[in-house]
A and B are shown apart, each in its own frame.
Chain A
């Protein structure tokens, strides 16, 4: 919400400043890099997301996140309290040869999916929203939102 308002204000300010009647444009090279990224990340995301769905929705379900006394999927730890935070903590503290595998898995999936998903949203915006002010505002909201979501989501992926 804050991001959308800030982006709209920034877009209006930019329009006043430059008298620009054009929408948001990325440098040509970045645009084509993103085109390739959508394909490459797509191929990487498919196995990662299928694994995520298998673990969280099929083998164990959403209801098992709060399953007290149940073994947390992908670990050999029991969720004693049946609290969702213990479930997440057990996965993120799971070490294989000293490596926090689920932090890396989740972190990789997060970064790829957020960029892929919000860049896709950008394509939709550019297909449907042509007025320069709104186009710039939405594009900036998407750029800020992408950065914000990655920072927020990865904040605890690093070991403290």
Chain B
């Protein structure tokens, strides 16, 4: 298992994948439901989940490449400790600027509408649908 000691994170990624295929199919079959789904994705709960998901995917990508490489070149197992560290470092290096940019989107969104408590939005907003009302 690629996420090793944390199968719950791994499971979360697969569960989100299943959810995401289903909700995206609504764009074609149930347009109104799709608008609701995207509104949910813009809610604070899913924003936190979004950061966690991106972290899981990036880590899984580098760790998966490590596994592929070591399966292909078993002689390189002597470097496996260093490889695992490298995966961790590469994950952090990619995630740092990614999270900065993602936080930028979050701040942009909430700066446009400081009234977080009421979730009301001005009609001037470029985002014309409010986030989840929960």
Which residues from chain A sit less than 8 Å from chain B, CB to CB?
39, 42-43, 45-46, 49-50, 53, 57-70, 82-85, 88-89, 110, 113-114, 117-118, 120-121, 123-124, 127, 145, 149, 152-153, 155-156
Say whether B24 contacts A149, CB under 8 Å: no
Which residues from chain B sit less than 8 Å from chain A, CB to CB?
1-2, 7, 10-11, 13-14, 17-18, 21-22, 24-25, 27-29, 31, 34-35, 37-39, 41-42, 46-47, 50, 54, 57-58, 61, 64-65, 67-68, 71-72, 98, 101-102, 105-106, 108-109, 126-129
> What residues of B have a CB within 8 angstroms of the CB of A70 in the complex?
126
Q: Report the minimal beta-carbon distance from A24 to chain B, rounded to whole angstroms.
A: 18
> What residues of B have a CB within 8 angstroms of the CB of A82 in the complex?
126-129
B105 touches which of A64, A121, A149 (Cβ 8 Å): A64
Do most interface residues of chain B lie in helix, strand or loop, or is the interface mixed? helix
A43-B68 contact, Cβ under 8 Å, with A70-B126, A117-B14? yes
**In the bound complex, CA of A114 to CA of B16 (Å):** 11
Say whether B35 contacts A120, CB under 8 Å: no
